[in-house]
Chain A
């Protein structure tokens, strides 16, 4: 029984076959991301660096709170927590291609 919902931002949905949400059963944010990575090959590399730290252009939230203001990847989750992955997006709808 999954207890955590991970919201996948649009730019990373190519890794989840288009899915906007992935449900996992985890006790911490780090664990939830690990399970996400096991299920969807390649996605974790976009979120964490080689040392396993959250990349500088990505933010992770539990509910409305950044995990930086909680306990980082050790922040506890459960009881229908929602984890949001929010990468930097540059688009202003300005150029033809963007």
Chain B
């Protein structure tokens, strides 16, 4: 008898084995099924609901998946051999209720038990997102969620630039960008997606070039249009989260209303000189719905009450800070990690400097998001202050 066979015989004598069918029943009663095969094997299919921890990292990572050493654990490999070694390793760690699935995944499939094909990461993705994979709140499953996610950015400007930059870096798989503007030299004080050489070119094109250079694995969808009530329904529904970095009230209300209609979280940011605000408007949030922009401000200010174009302006760095908080909130929503900034308005006053959070309440009578209200339709507000100042893009359009 070879050393290997002798060892296997010892393990078979000491590790209890279960059939795939018994394993499925135990799994449905709360046992944790751990698929210990290699990523390329798992990519072809794995038992439904299994935790996937490659054999080599099993002892190092099992506690994240199964914190209680009294829990029932089932190990599974391809044919039922590696799972014996895996089970032995877990027993030595102190897991007392460990069984190996006889016949492994081959027998599982043969018995017609449910299989899923988990999203797995390529070797290149593993390298690129390595610092995410080691965070329990992200990990491989979280990174797969980000890669499968679709985020729509309203504007590739001061807020959209930093948000898009970091969302692309984080591996958010699809980024849609809506912007009908072209790059102007005066944008470059803060709109870091663009470059001096691209002055006069469409912002969506410039944004695509920058983001693809940073992360070729991300799909950029360009929408070189101004968002209107006529086109919003054709663009917004296929995205998971909307990041609002618009520069005018008509677009902000349109984005709010469309997010309500299509039940999308709206990650809102705005800036003015040295101040910025962020909130997540999400009336359709499961379990704990939050207010919408109209709960806070039912109507936009009339043009004469809005800050005039001459008064406006922003410290170039400020939208960087605000856009990045929007990006963080977006990633949290996609991962389902932590508490989103729902029902709170985060204000950053840079000169003081001061961060404050204000409570936002749902308006039970809100015309757009109140429970049971029928969607009242979009409103095309007059643009109050989007007329370009003398140095803006319109004058420099080639």
B271 surroundings in chain A (CB, below 8 A): 89, 91-93
Q: Quick one: which of A20, A64, A92 has the most chain B CB within 10 A?
A: A92
Q: Which of B184, B249, B311, B357 contacts A96 (CB 8 A)?
A: B184
Given contacts A57-B299, A65-B359, contact A93 B190 (CB under 8 A): yes
Q: Are the C-beta atoms of A94 and B245 separated by less than 8 Å?
A: yes
Q: Give the residues from 48 to 98 in chain A that come closer than 8 angstroms, CB to CB, to chain B.
A: 55-59, 61, 64-66, 68-69, 84, 86-98
Within the complex, the shortest CB–CB distance from B371 to chain A, in Å, comes to 18
Number of interface residues, chain A, beta carbon within 8 A: 31
- What's the minimum C-beta distance from B200 to chain A, rounded to whole angstroms? 13
Asked if B358 contacts A93 (CB within 8 A), the reply is no
B203 → A minimal CB distance (Å)? 9
Residues of B147-187 at the interface with A, using a CB-CB cut-off of 8 Å, are 155, 157-160, 179, 181, 184, 186-187
CA A89 to CA B181, docked complex, whole Å: 21
| Interface: A9 (CB within 8 A) | yes
**Cβ contact within 8 Å between B361 and A89:** no
Q: Within 8 Å CB of B316, what residues of A?
A: 93
**Known contacts A46-B305, A90-B246: does B385 contact A98 (CB below 8 Å)?**
yes
Please determine whether A98 and B312 come into contact, CB atoms closer than 8 angstroms.
yes
The answer, among B244, B270, B297, B360, for a CB contact under 8 Å with A57, is B297
A57, A59, A97: the one contacting B301 at CB < 8 Å is A57
Within 1-43 of A, Cβ neighbours of B (below 8 Å) are at 9-11, 14, 20
CB distance from B386 to the nearest CB of A (A): 7
Q: Which 10 A-B pairs have the closest CB atoms?
A: A93-B158, A94-B157, A97-B389, A96-B392, A94-B247, A93-B319, A57-B301, A92-B247, A96-B186, A88-B297
With A68-B361, A97-B388 as known contacts, state yes or no: A14 contacts B311, CB within 8 Å: yes
| Smallest beta-carbon distance B357→chain A, Å | 6
Which A residues are in CB contact (< 8 Å) with B160?
A: 92, 94
- The answer to the question of B248 belonging to the interface, with a C-beta cut-off of 8 Å to chain A, is yes
- CB within 8 Å: A-B pair count: 147
> Shortest Cβ distance from A39 into chain B, in angstroms?
21
**Which residue of chain A is the closest to B248 with respect to CB atoms?**
A90
Q: Say yes or no: is B216 at the interface (Cβ < 8 Å to chain A).
A: no
Which residue from A56, A57, A95 sits with its C-beta under 8 Å from B386? A95
Q: With CB as the reference atom, state the residue of chain B lying closest to A21.
A: B352
A46–B247 Cα distance when bound, in Å, is: 21
B300 to A94, Cβ gap below 8 A?
no
A66 and B298 CA atoms in complex are apart in Å by: 15
A91 to B313 CA separation, bound complex (whole angstroms): 9
Do the beta carbons of A94 and B296 come within 8 Å of each other? no
> Cβ of A11: which chain B residues have Cβ within 8 Å of it?
272, 307, 311
Q: How would residues 337 to 372 of chain B score, 1 for a CB under 8 Å from any chain A CB and 0 otherwise?
A: 000000001010001100011111101000000000
Q: What residues of A have a CB within 8 angstroms of the CB of B311 in the complex?
A: 11, 14
Residue of B179, B244, B306, B307 with most chain A CB atoms under a 10 A cut-off: B307
User: Closest CB-CB distance, B189 to chain A, in whole Å?
Assistant: 9
Q: List 11 A-B contacts (CB under 8 A).
A: A59-B297, A59-B358, A61-B358, A64-B356, A69-B359, A89-B272, A91-B247, A92-B157, A93-B159, A95-B157, A97-B310
Q: How far is the CB of B356 from chain A (nearest CB, A)?
A: 7
Question: Are B358 and A94 in touch, CB under 8 angstroms?
Answer: no
Select B309's contact among A59, A65, A98, beta carbons within 8 Å.
Answer: A98
B252 CB–A CB distance under 8 Å? yes
- Chain B 219-257 interface 0/1 with A at a Cβ cutoff of 8 Å (1 = within): 000000000000000000000000011111100100000
12 extra interchain contacts, Cβ-Cβ under 8 A, other than A55-B301, A96-B187? A86-B347, A88-B249, A89-B272, A90-B246, A91-B270, A91-B312, A92-B155, A92-B245, A92-B270, A93-B318, A94-B159, A95-B181
When distances are taken between beta carbons in the complex, the residues of chain B under 8 Å from A61 are 358-359
**B277 (CB) vs chain A CBs: closest residue:** A89
A66 touches B158 (CB 8 A): no
- Whether B307 and A93, one on each chain, are in contact in the complex, defined by CB atoms closer than 8 angstroms, is no
Known: A86-B358, A98-B312. A92 touches B159 (CB 8 A): yes
